[in-house]
Chain A
Amino acid sequence: MIPTKVRSHLTQNEGLIFERSSPGKNGYQLPALDVPEVDPAEALGADNVRSTIEDFPEVSEVEVLRHFTRLSTWNYAIDLGMYPLGSCTMKYNPRINEAVARIEGLAWAHPYQPESLSQGAMEVIARLEEALLEITGLDAITLQPAAGAHGELTGILLVRALLEAQGNPRKRILTPDSAHGTNPATAGIAGYEVQNIHSTDQGMIDLEELARIVDSDVAALMVTNPSTLGVFEDNIMKVADILHSKGAMVYMDGANMNALVGIARPGDFGIDVMHLNLHKTFSTPHGGGGPGSGPVAVKKHLEPFLPVPRLARKGDLWTWDYDRPQSIGRVRAFYGNFGVLVRALAYIYAHGGPGLRNATVDAVLNANYLRHKLRPYFDLPYDRPNMHEVVFSDDRQAAKGVRTGEIAKRLIDYGFHPYTVSFPLIVRGALMIEPTETESKRELDQFVEAMIAIAKEVDTEPETVLKAPHMTRTTKVDEVGAARKPVVRWRPAS
């Protein structure tokens, strides 16, 4: 089938910048010095001064611009189309967010400038805190963590601090077998043993097993709701009761919050502590892998332990409160990824309360639409209504020798970024698809068309799928070779 979304065009070749370099070229201008120039060797001591930065590039401004413009055309991006990555919530990144983050008074605010001259920045933080607390139904929040995994670490350190204050930090953290890899990694770094718990045949937390396992050595359960299968844990309140009855807490990974905003609030269904991913739910751009922001919201009992400093009110002014004797300390210098916070607040303002709920509804509708359209062609191991994402299995295609990773690569030829491959681990050969609310029906239909076309190719010409992608300027990349003998930097030819 001829893809309707793409056809090939020329891309420019471009080597590494070091190969373009030639002595004496540069792309900068500095003003003339208005003070006497200092001799570095004299000022710093000859031993402390380097003679050159060996092999550092020397290129002109236009060469730098072309270099990156050419490179940029080798990337797929939200701006080019749908990004059905499950659990990643790749939605449109409104450009007003970018514009306001660059407003001089915000972008050039120094974190140590006097509080009296930082009230605007502190107001941004205060307003975002307020909105996120309303959305999560929790009691207090820190915006300091730099990303989701950083938020997880903060959250687990909070749990530990509270338990320690009660006399025993306990030993174990429970994570479902469907959890994101960051969950067990975080628990490990926070000094806990990790215990996996199994999902039921419906993909839910097994209440009986949970009741059996939870004892006074368990510090917390880390749960994702909706689960990584895109299904709401309908027993979440019972889950929380089991943990709470043994003095343990429930941590919620907020990666899937895009399914809940305006519909249900973790604070109302028994969650003690959770993180949000502003670069998912609140539309701040992913930037090829960051920056993110991972605010952590908590119930009252965890509030005394939140990182310092805390935003507080002193008369008519905002102030930073460092006098927090029970605090876990800092998890990051300064006050968090402030520029990301500005963007998230702009997103909340653009949508407003009703708009945020509508976004959730559209996200869930889009994902259910895909489930209905694709279920005749792909195996659906957990065949039930889903929230914001849907997980298929490659069982049918695997029988013909084609696996999820290969279907994903073939999707590239049809003009789409692959879905999340082989995750969650509880689904054999998973295809995890999250369309988000910002995709139109037209884009969804093209995606469906592409997936159906690939399913048919698996039957008729599996080789085409196995060798994909065919249309990209770089064909399938040898990742095994890369890891065998890692070359992680350029060196001049000797």
Chain B
Amino acid sequence: MLAACGLSSVEELFNQVPASTRIDHALRIAPGLSEYEIADVFRELGAKNANGYASFLGAGVYSHYRPVLVDTVVSRGEFLTSYTPYQSEISQGTLVSIFEFQTMICQLTGMDVANASMYDGSSAVPEAAMMAVRVTKRSRILVARSVHPEYREVLRTYAKDQGLPVEEVGYDAETGQLDLADLDAKLNGETACIIVQSPNFFGVVENSKAVAERAHANGALLVFTFAEAVSLGILEPPHEADIVAGELQSFAISPSYGGPFVGIIASKEKYIRQLPGRLVGETKDTHGNQAFCLTLATREQHIRREKATSNICTNQALIALMATVFMELYGKEGLRELAIQNLSKAKYLAGKLRRRFSGPSFNEFVAVAKDAEDVNRRLLDRKIIGGLPLAKFYPELAGTMLLCATEMTKRADMDTLAEVFSA
């Protein structure tokens, strides 16, 4: 091959790289390992993490059972090792699966259109807010303080440099739901949207209809977000929202120390041209057969460049596929039954503890624990990872922790946890 290139050594390949810009040493990275050695290294690293613990952590990342078939499908090289489906004729497999994903997101959320995925819930929220800004041509963003604290942090990072003021709306100290009086006080003619999460970070189901009425009366949009997608199996979909932005980690995506997950963004039909990211549409091929392709690309960065609705390019396609397989396996009845199991487990646990908020909750709730850190330490001795002490994010909620129970939580562990709480 060198000869074909008219070269006598591989070093000549790099003649165009001036000596002054070259690295002056061999990379200080040890020589390569065999497959067996690599597996060993990572097994050791895995062993340094929690192993064999029961866990009551949720807070945006949930432990749900992952049907084996999910891994079977995403391990197929035709999905795993394919590129973004720009070349429709040899990407119909990916395109069909995304079309089904978009459809099921609409069915779950009550929206008309959904995109092919976002990075995660935390980045979907600011993208939804920016969308609301484009739609309303207003700049003020209101966000409930009961939205996941890390989502709010990401929102602030995105909003700051675009000159979009972000203001928080408090929660009702009794119910844990958004404080409607505070919302009334803060909504005005410059408000582009109010962002509400339900179930919110405290696990409480919000009254999003009441929020929507107030937002719409002020010409603002309701951006609805969720972190626990399994709740959509039983909760009324947010028809009243204008944009829904959420996280699907609950749909067969392992916690994986926080990622990769998959975000969604969905909206009313009339906002379709303001959606960020990729969209798959139905069409026909030259023989008149049903076919699919990426569409409305004139919103996107590779066409619009600095005028694009978002800079997003690579998204989370394979993770979206995992969620798609999950949704199709569980289906209409399964998702409902799964949701009821989650609800039932959390209800059982809550019955043994003191709840901080009175609002209805799904599979998470805030429990009163005078010294949350101490409770967690004692739980670790019983091989249980307790809840998330809320003081870290909400100083006023010191002495509480957020606990989660899913279909994978065992009654015996809940009993042990309650025992340690009361000790």
Contacts and interface: CB of A to CB of B under 8 A. Distances in A.
B27 A357 contact: yes
Given A48-B235, A76-B90, A290-B117, A365 B10 contact: yes
A372 B5 CA distance: 6
B185 interface: no
B395 interface: no
A53 B313 contact: no
A59 to B, nearest CB: 6
A288 B85 contact: yes
A456 B268 CA distance: 50
Interface in A38-82: 38, 40, 43-45, 47-50, 52-59, 61, 64-65, 67-69, 71-80
A37 B407 CA distance: 12
B136 interface: no
Interface in A470-490: 472-479, 481-483, 486-490
A285 B79 CA distance: 9
A142 interface: no
Contacts of A307: 157
Interface in A362-421: 364-366, 368-369, 371-373, 384-385, 387, 408-409, 412, 417-418
Contacts of B303: 181
A333 B148 contact: yes
A185 interface: yes
Nearest to B36: A96
A348 B303 CA distance: 34
B177 to A, nearest CB: 12
Contacts of B311: 149, 152-153, 182, 185-186, 188-189
B78 A79 contact: yes
A185 B234 CA distance: 39
A149 B411 contact: no
B394 interface: no
* Most chain B Cβ neighbours within 10 Å, of A49, A332, A361: A332
B107 interface: yes
A287 B344 contact: no
B301 A182 contact: yes
A104 B328 contact: no
Interface in B35-61: 35, 37-39, 41-51, 53, 55, 57, 59-61
Nearest to B344: A38
Contacts of A194: 305-306
B188 interface: no
A475 B89 contact: yes
B138 interface: no
A43 B18 CA distance: 70
A117 B78 contact: no
Interface stretch (B189-197, B214-222, B284-292): B284-292
B14 A364 contact: yes
* Most chain A Cβ neighbours within 10 Å, of B44, B48, B82: B82
B38 A110 contact: no
Contact of A289 (B15, B85, B310): B85
Interface size class of A (residues with CB under 8 A): 35 or more
B291 to A, nearest CB: 5
Contacts of B385: 110, 113-114, 117
B137 interface: no
Contact of B328 (A67, A118, A191, A290): A67
A469 B92 CA distance: 14
Interface string A344-368: 0010111111111100010011101
Contacts of A72: 73, 76, 78-79, 93
Contacts of B312: 147, 149-150
Given A107-B256, A385-B15, A488 B113 contact: yes
B259 A338 contact: yes
Contacts of A352: 29-33
A135 B306 contact: no
B308 A105 contact: no
B316 interface: yes
A14 B99 CA distance: 14
Contacts of A10: none
A103 interface: yes
A110 B347 contact: no
A263 B150 CA distance: 39
Contact of A329 (B157, B297, B360): B157
B121 to A, nearest CB: 7
A124 interface: yes
Interface in B1-18: 1-2, 4-7, 10, 13-18
Contact of A110 (B43, B57, B318): B57
A339 interface: yes
B161 A157 contact: yes
A402 B305 CA distance: 27
B84 A286 contact: yes
Contacts of A354: 26-27, 31-32
B302 interface: yes
B418 interface: no
A51 B306 CA distance: 44
A71 B314 contact: no
Contacts of A78: 77, 81-82
A25 B81 CA distance: 31
Interface string B151-182: 10110111011110000000000000000000
Given A110-B255, A353-B28, A385-B13, A285 B45 contact: no
Contacts of B327: 56-57
B274 interface: no
Contacts of B79: 68, 72, 75, 77, 287-288
Given A59-B331, A103-B42, A387 B16 contact: yes
Nearest to A47: B236
Interface string B63-100: 10001010111111111111111011111111011011
Contact of B205 (A16, A44, A268, A285): A44
Interface stretch (A26-34, A242-250, A295-303): A26-34
A120 interface: yes
B370 interface: no
Contacts of B91: 74-76, 288
Given A40-B234, A187-B306, A339-B256, A488 B281 contact: yes
Nearest to B262: A291
A85 interface: yes
B318 A287 contact: yes
A424 B38 CA distance: 38
A59 B331 CA distance: 7
Contacts of A287: 74, 79-82, 317-319, 321
Contacts of B388: 112
A2 interface: no
Interface in B327-350: 327-341, 343-345, 347-348
A489 B99 contact: yes
B142 to A, nearest CB: 19
A132 B329 CA distance: 40
Contacts of B337: 30
A189 B306 CA distance: 8
Nearest to A356: B27
Contact of B93 (A73, A135, A269, A279): A73
Contact of A361 (B10, B254, B314): B10
A328 B157 contact: yes
A353 B122 contact: no
Contacts of B14: 263, 364
A119 interface: yes
13 contacts: A76-B91, A117-B385, A123-B48, A146-B123, A264-B22, A268-B24, A287-B80, A288-B83, A291-B319, A333-B153, A372-B6, A409-B89, A477-B292
Given A104-B46, A107-B254, A348-B29, 17 more contacts: A38-B340, A112-B388, A149-B301, A182-B302, A269-B20, A291-B119, A291-B314, A333-B151, A333-B153, A339-B259, A350-B38, A353-B29, A356-B27, A365-B5, A369-B5, A469-B90, A488-B282
Counting from the closest, the 7 A-B pairs by CB-CB distance are: A334-B258, A287-B318, A105-B46, A79-B77, A120-B48, A289-B317, A352-B32
